[in-house]
Amino acid sequence: MTSNDSSPKSTNVSKQIPMLSRPRRNRKSASIRDMVRETQLHPSDLILPLFVIEGKHQKIEIESMPDFFRLSRDLIVEEAKMAYRLGVPALALFPALTGESKDRLATESTNPDGLLQQTVKEVKSAVPEITVITDVAMDPYSSDGHDGLAEEGRILNDPTLDILAGMAVSQAEAGTDIVAPSDMMDGRIKHIRQALDQNGFSEVSILAYSAKYASAFYGPFRDALDSAPKHGDKKTYQMDPANRQEALREVMADVNQGADIVMVKPALAYLDVIATAREQFISPLAAYNVSGEYLMAKLAAETEWFDGQRIITEIITGIKRAGADIIISYHAKEVSKWLIES
């Protein structure tokens, strides 16, 4: 009678099949994995964006951005000190103004005693080693909420350029290290570069938002600054999310006009654009890990199915692996802490 023994046959663990290539050899220990890692994250890769408000000792949580806050100038200075201790080399400052400070011509943007200008002075006085980056666009100051001058439903490109140039010069006078035009008006990089040079600020750099898409990922940012457009949308100046070749044209134009650093915004849905820009251009390349991307990661991390630290680190690593030299991210502080602790 035949036995129906169904027990598993023993495995010959000593059996080896001859193979010249075994990629797993480079994964067999943590130390070897570290040695062959192709993309290394470091706090110096990161820029911390911050939202500044009037007042003192003010820390107001942004409902659409968990664990992120609008901060008064004194607390911005403390954030600058902490970021620098963590190895984060730069801050990107965005002013959150009240409605009374806004008008059609963004007049407040050139006020030497304005919120942004005073914040720049205080940060540079307290932490002179940290790099300060300031946003150049009309929307935080405009009663229309657009990045350019609005008239009868249109965004006027050329009349906007002088406003942006004046804004950049005012920020340079306050002591900013880098101005960052995020407006997407045609010709603004050349116009700003000339204005800076003519006013004695040839050492102030320009980080151009070169490929800035008309993205749905900006909602929490606009909530933080109350800068959503009051009419229409931004599709006549920000780029169509479907386009990649257009991004290369925009990057090339900004490089030719004097941009020192170019940027793709957003990051996650545009890794192909980052990678292509990296292949085509030798200029330093930044990417903006935007507010909507931050919110998605934070909400995912609140569930039992995701390890928050791992997914956030994986996202930032992916952006760098795609080709970004610099990453603006609301995760900058926590990622830097994790890198130091690892």
Alpha carbons 209 and 263: distance in angstroms, whole number: 5
DSSP code per residue over 132-168? EEEEE-STTTBTT--SSEEETTEEEHHHHHHHHHHHH
> Between residues 191 and 100, which one has the greater pLDDT?
191
DSSP 103: B
Do 310 and 334 touch, CB atoms closer than 8 A? no
DSSP 11: P
Crossing angle of the two packed helices 188-198 and 157-174, in degrees rounded to 10: 40
Among candidate residues 128, 171, 129, the one with its CA nearest the CA of residue 44:
129
The chain-wide mean pLDDT, for the chain, equals 93
- Give the number of other Cβ atoms within 10 Å of residue 154's Cβ: 12
| Digit-coded pLDDT (tens) for 143-179 | 888 889 988 889 999 999 999 999 999 999 999 999 9
pLDDT at residue 317 greater than cutoff 80? yes
Among candidate residues 175, 184, 172, the one with its CA nearest the CA of residue 211:
184
Phi, psi of 223 (to 5 degrees): -65, -45
Q: Which residues of 318-328 are buried (b: 16+ CB within 10 A; e: fewer)?
A: bbbebbbebbb
pLDDT at residue 196 greater than cutoff 90? yes
pLDDT at residue 8 greater than cutoff 90? no
* pLDDT score recorded for residue 9: 65
* pLDDT score recorded for residue 41: 95
* pLDDT score recorded for residue 7: 57
Alpha carbons 220 and 197: distance in angstroms, whole number: 35
Mean pLDDT value across residues 46-54: 97
In the chain the beta strands, taken as DSSP E runs, fall at 46-53, 59-62, 65-72, 90-95, 131-136, 149-151, 154-156, 178-181, 205-212, 261-265, 285-289, 326-329
Q: Helix count (H) and strand count (E) of the chain? A: 11, 12
Token pair listed for 110 = 């050139």
DSSP code per residue over 252-278? HHHHHHT-SEEEEES-GGGHHHHHHHH
pLDDT at residue 59 greater than cutoff 60? yes
| Digit-coded pLDDT (tens) for 283-295 | 999 999 999 999 9
Across the strands, what pairs with 133?
A: 92, 178
Domains contained in the chain, CATH given: 40-341 (3.20.20.70)
pLDDT at residue 3 greater than cutoff 80? no
* pLDDT score recorded for residue 255: 98
| Digit-coded pLDDT (tens) for 252-262 | 999 999 999 99
pLDDT bracket for residue 109 (50, 70, 90) = very high
* pLDDT score recorded for residue 4: 57
pLDDT at residue 15 greater than cutoff 90? no
pLDDT at residue 1 greater than cutoff 60? no
* pLDDT score recorded for residue 62: 92
Catalytic positions: 212, 265
| Digit-coded pLDDT (tens) for 82-96 | 999 999 999 999 999
How many residues are present in the chain? 342
* pLDDT score recorded for residue 227: 73
* pLDDT score recorded for residue 229: 78
Among candidate residues 37, 85, 43, the one with its CA nearest the CA of residue 339:
43
Phi, psi of 39 (to 5 degrees): -120, 115
pLDDT at residue 70 greater than cutoff 80? yes
Mean pLDDT value across residues 116-121: 98
CA–centroid distance for 132 within its chain: 13
The pTM assigned to this predicted structure is 0.92
| Digit-coded pLDDT (tens) for 206-245 | 999 999 999 999 989 888 887 777 887 889 999 999 999 9
